[in-house]
Amino acid sequence: MTIDHDSRLKRLRFRAWHRGFREADLILGPFADVHGPNLTPEQFDTLETLLEQPDREIYAWIVGQEETPETFETDVLAMIRAFRFEAHAARPIGDGA
Domain ranges of the chain: 5-90
CATH number at 5-90: 1.10.150.250
pLDDT single digits (tens) 32-83: 999 999 999 999 999 999 999 999 999 999 999 999 999 999 999 999 999 9
pLDDT at residue 4, rounded to an integer: 84
pTM comes to 0.84
Determine the residue type at 35.
H
Q: Kind and range of the H or E element at 41?
A: helix 41-51
CA proximity to 16, closest of 46, 45, 47, 40 = 47
Query: 70, 89 in Cβ contact below 8 A?
Result: no
Query: How confident is residue 94, by pLDDT bands cut at 50, 70 and 90?
Result: low
Query: How confident is residue 19, by pLDDT bands cut at 50, 70 and 90?
Result: confident
